[in-house]
């Protein structure tokens, strides 16, 4: 059961409050998540409660809503024999709040970010609690043009130990939204950039700050690793 503000989330209450307002898509369109959040009477110190409710509802209750509330005849899971698959995962890099990971599924390689909050960190060190980092964000690299291929060749020919550049809060939002849109509209990928940009503009400042915090953490990771990288180069040079 998800935990928000130190308390277990009542999924039944969440389902009732969302469906009586017309369902997930209607609540998103009407921007009613803060209204739904007020029903739970979270502590004033709880940050991004409306965003957390939206995320948990989509992950845990959206399929249930489509089948039982709207009576859509859509199977929740593919039970065909060919639905089983094997996957291999690995950690590509580490930073303060988690890992950059990759997952190989058949011939397809997926990249993402696995977050795990540092439980030893003081609450005052960040405006957001550990829960705001507790997420898995898939990341799909955009198709490379000729310039992108040249840049990649340069990186391959350069030092492989050089840390990966940091990503902004919008980059993290783009990755998460792209994954969701791909599952809902697999044949409209050319429209994703515009759709994601519009979704970002419709976020409240509170919701944007969640992703911007991810960007801050990743920038801190990059700066720390870059400093260590430069120091290692200087140390190596001084040995000759």
Confidence of residue 44 (pLDDT cuts 50, 70, 90): confident
Q: Quick one: what percent of the chain has pLDDT higher than 90? A: 10
Show the beta-strand stretches assigned E in the chain: 3-4, 7-8, 87-95, 98-105, 108-115, 136-139
C-alpha–C-alpha distance, residues 230 and 240, integer Å: 16
Token look-up 């890099």 returns: 93
Burial of 195 (0-12, 13-18, 19+ CB in 10 A): middle
C-alpha–C-alpha distance, residues 112 and 133, integer Å: 14
- Rounded to an integer, the average pLDDT of 135-151 is 50
C-alpha–C-alpha distance, residues 47 and 208, integer Å: 12
Domain extent listing, the chain: 8-69, 85-238
Task: Summarize pLDDT for 152-198 with one digit per residue, the tens.
Answer: 555 555 677 788 889 988 898 888 888 888 877 878 888 888 888 88
DSSP 42-98: --TT--SHHHHHHHHHHHHTHHHIIIIIS-----SS--SGGG---EEEEEEEEETTE
- Rounded to an integer, the average pLDDT of 24-48 is 87
C-alpha–C-alpha distance, residues 170 and 172, integer Å: 5
- Please state the CATH superfamily assignment of the domain spanning residues 8-69 in this structure: ARID DNA-binding domain (1.10.150.60)
Is residue 116 within 8 Å of 131, Cβ to Cβ?
no
Pick among 3.90.180.10, 3.40.50.720, 3.40.50.150, 1.10.30.10: CATH of 85-238: 1.10.30.10
Residue 108 pLDDT > 50, yes or no? yes
Confidence of residue 119 (pLDDT cuts 50, 70, 90): very low
pLDDT the model gives residue 59? 86
3-state secondary structure of 164: coil
Is residue 152 within 8 Å of 144, Cβ to Cβ?
yes
C-alpha–C-alpha distance, residues 26 and 42, integer Å: 23
Q: What is the dihedral of CA 212, 187, 150, 89, to 10 degrees?
A: 70
- Rounded to an integer, the average pLDDT of 3-23 is 89
């Amino acid at each position: 059961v998800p935990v928000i503000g130190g308390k277990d989330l009542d999924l039944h209450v969440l389902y009732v409050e969302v469906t009586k307002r017309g369902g997930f898509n209607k609540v998103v369109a009407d921007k009613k998540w803060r209204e739904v959040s007020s029903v739970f009477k979270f502590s004033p110190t709880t940050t991004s409660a409306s965003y957390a409710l939206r995320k948990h509802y989509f992950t845990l209750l959206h399929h249930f809503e489509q089948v039982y509330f709207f009576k859509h005849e859509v199977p929740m899971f593919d039970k065909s024999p060919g639905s089983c698959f094997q996957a291999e995962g690995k950690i590509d890099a580490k930073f303060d709040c988690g890992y950059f990971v990759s997952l190989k599924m058949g011939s397809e390689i997926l990249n993402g970010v696995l977050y795990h909050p540092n439980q030893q960190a003081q609450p005052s060190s960040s405006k957001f609690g550990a829960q705001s980092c507790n997420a898995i964000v898939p990341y799909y690299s955009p198709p490379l043009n000729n310039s992108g291929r040249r840049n990649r060749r340069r990186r391959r020919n350069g030092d492989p130990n050089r840390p990966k550049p940091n990503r902004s809060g919008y980059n993290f939002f783009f990755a998460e939204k792209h994954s969701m849109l791909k599952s809902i509209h697999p044949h409209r990928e050319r429209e994703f950039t515009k759709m994601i940009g519009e979704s970002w503009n419709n976020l409240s400042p509170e919701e944007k700050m969640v992703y911007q915090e991810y960007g801050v953490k990743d920038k801190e990771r990059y700066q720390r690793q870059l400093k260590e990288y430069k120091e290692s180069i200087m140390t190596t040079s001084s040995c000759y």
